[in-house]
Amino acid sequence: MKIITYTVAAFALISYVLIFSSCNRLGENSNSNTPPTTTPDKGTLYIEAQLVYDANEVRPVARKSLFLLNKDLLDVEVPSPKSVNARSMEDYTSKLSFPQNLKATIELAQANKKMRAAMERIGMEKNIKIPPERKLSDEEKKTSVLGIEMIIVMIQQGKDTAPHFLREVMTDFQGKVVINDIAPGDYWILGVTETKEDYAFWNYKVSVVAGDNRLLLDQNNALYFK
């Protein structure tokens, strides 16, 4: 089950994106892999983002936006449809904040992935042939990523959530980017990219100290990967 197929909210967000498309994104755009200009009491974060499929296939997450936040925006409670008296999926998602919508989307993706793995395991144990999972087309994979990106844009534009977006940076063609002059502390790196099967999503906590800090984003620390 794919998120964009089963979540009405993702499609509804298209209209919001058109409204906000002319707005400037918050934070600092940077493609910098140049020598750092960080002061001694600040930190420099070197990020490399890649997906490793096997020893001979490592794909950099190239030319993708990553966001540096000072708060975990997924640290929210997602109410059940019953608790908000939702009459339909559209009514339910309309009652969720954008962070709640993002968390619900990721949780549904995680649940679907676990369900498929359980079905395949039971099939092997019982010697039952499980029909192969339908492969997404390239267009469907892009749509999945677009749905997540749209929700992130809405969060970034939110009155209460926008102040937590400190920087927006873009990886280079090798999947690398450098963020300079970060005050020591805890931060979150938020990002999404297309994969072979569907998409990978990161909401990764990183503790920055004065001096050099290095972070590898891959499928092992993605909140969701398929």
Q: What is the pLDDT of residue 104?
A: 96
Rounded CA-CA distance 102/221 in Å is: 18
Residue 222 has pLDDT above 90, yes or no: yes
The residue-averaged pLDDT of 173-199 equals: 97
The residue-averaged pLDDT of 167-174 equals: 98
Percent of the chain having pLDDT more than 90?
81
Neighbours of 153 (CB within 10 A): 19
Neighbours of 177 (CB within 10 A): 23
Mean pLDDT of the chain: 87
Cβ-defined contacts of 208-212 (< 8 Å, 24+) = 208/43, 208/45, 208/182, 208/183, 208/184, 209/43, 209/184, 210/40, 210/41, 210/42, 210/43, 210/184, 211/43, 211/44, 212/36, 212/43, 212/44, 212/46
Q: What is the pLDDT of residue 55?
A: 83
Sequence-ordered list of residues with C-beta below 8 angstroms from that of 185, at least 6 positions apart, any chain: 70, 207, 208
Q: What is the pLDDT of residue 31?
A: 52
pLDDT digits (tens, 9 = 90+) for 61-91: 999 999 999 999 999 999 999 999 999 989 9
Rounded CA-CA distance 120/5 in Å is: 22
pLDDT digits (tens, 9 = 90+) for 83-106: 999 999 899 999 999 999 999 999
Q: What is the pLDDT of residue 204?
A: 98
pTM: 0.83
pLDDT digits (tens, 9 = 90+) for 134-143: 999 999 999 9
Residue 27 has pLDDT above 70, yes or no: no
